[in-house]
């Protein structure tokens, strides 16, 4: 059975990082072709014998030096027939988050053409990548509304205010801090440590850490979560 089909399949990777109340996204500069020197998401064509999820990890590492273990599938872009000016390409987009130390790119790799951009000051982007990033951000925001996520965006030990600020940054509105703190702590996947860190001019704040095992257990059972806004 011969299927005639002239469509190529690619993956794109949206990686978010967070630092000092700002969300960042990882971009690369196009090296070849009509779109040379334009910024775009890391990504590329899927190899014949390659599972989609492996293609994402490979492309990210090759193009940016950033190593991730898993990325979550976001959406497959295949309605706009001209999203790639060369020929029809359907792209399966994956998104993920990395911790702050990944925000320093390793200059020894191909990464010299890769750069973190603050989400609110992105350069002109190739293809439909602006739309793809918007969709990834919307998903991140939507998930935050019903599922506690984003811990991997923080340092391994963090003052509680960092988590609050992360939520406020992504949700783009002030949250009810007392209610948020009570809810988050009630799940028991964040534990107090014995360490303190001085923040600004205030007194040192206690550091917390994230318990991923406990979190994953809860996730399996299904966490129901509702954020109240201030």
Q: Which residues bind its own copies (CB under 8 A)?
A: 1, 3, 5-9, 33, 45-49, 51-54, 73, 75-76, 78-81, 86, 88, 90, 92, 142, 145-146, 222, 224-227
Catalytic (active site) residue 152: no
In the complex, minimum distance from the CB of residue 61 to its own copies, in angstroms, rounded to a whole number: 18
Give the Cα separation of 39 and 61 in Å (integer): 17
Compare residues 103 and 227 and give the one whose CB is closer to its own copies.
227
In the complex, minimum distance from the CB of residue 4 to its own copies, in angstroms, rounded to a whole number: 8
In the complex, minimum distance from the CB of residue 41 to its own copies, in angstroms, rounded to a whole number: 17
In this structure, what are the phi and psi dihedrals at residue 63, rounded to the nearest 5 degrees? -90, -25
Q: Are 114 and 27 in contact (CB under 8 A)?
A: yes
3-state class of 101 per DSSP?
helix
Give the Cα separation of 201 and 212 in Å (integer): 31
In the complex, minimum distance from the CB of residue 141 to its own copies, in angstroms, rounded to a whole number: 9
In the complex, minimum distance from the CB of residue 202 to its own copies, in angstroms, rounded to a whole number: 31
Give the Cα separation of 116 and 4 in Å (integer): 40
Beta bridge partners of 12: 43, 93
Compare residues 200 and 222 and give the one whose CB is closer to its own copies.
222
Write down the catalytic residue from 59, 62, 102, 113: 113
Compare residues 84 and 102 and give the one whose CB is closer to its own copies.
84
Compare residues 44 and 100 and give the one whose CB is closer to its own copies.
44
Which tokens go with 43? 């990504």
Number of residues that this document lists for the chain: 230
Give the Cα separation of 125 and 208 in Å (integer): 38
Helices (H), the chain: 52-64, 129-146, 160-171, 177-186, 212-221
**Helices 160-171, 129-146: crossing angle, 10 deg rounding:** 130
Compare residues 218 and 227 and give the one whose CB is closer to its own copies.
227
Give the Cα separation of 174 and 156 in Å (integer): 24
Catalytic positions, please?
A: 113
């Amino acid at each position: 059975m011969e299927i005639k089909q002239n469509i190529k399949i690619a993956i794109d990777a949206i990686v978010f990082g967070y630092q000092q109340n700002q969300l960042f996204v990882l971009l690369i500069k196009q090296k070849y072709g009509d779109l040379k020197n334009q910024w775009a998401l890391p990504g590329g064509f899927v190899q014949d014998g390659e599972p989609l999820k492996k293609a994402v990890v490979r492309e990210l590492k090759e193009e940016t030096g950033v190593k991730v273990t898993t990325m979550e599938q976001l959406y497959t872009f295949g309605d706009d027939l001209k999203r790639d000016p060369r020929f029809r390409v359907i792209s399966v987009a994956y998104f993920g988050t990395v911790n702050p130390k990944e925000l320093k790119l390793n200059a020894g790799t191909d990464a010299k053409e890769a750069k973190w951009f603050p989400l609110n000051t992105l350069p002109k982007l190739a293809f439909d990548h602006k739309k793809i990033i918007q969709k990834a951000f919307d998903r991140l925001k939507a998930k935050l509304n019903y599922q506690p996520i984003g811990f991997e965006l923080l340092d391994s030990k963090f003052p509680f205010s960092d988590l609050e600020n992360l939520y406020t940054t992504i949700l783009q509105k002030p949250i009810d801090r007392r209610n948020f703190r009570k809810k988050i702590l009630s799940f028991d996947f964040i534990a107090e440590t014995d360490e303190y860190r001085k923040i600004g001019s205030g007194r040192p704040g206690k550091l917390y850490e994230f318990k991923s095992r406990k979190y994953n257990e809860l996730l399996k059972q299904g966490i129901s979560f509702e954020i109240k806004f201030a």
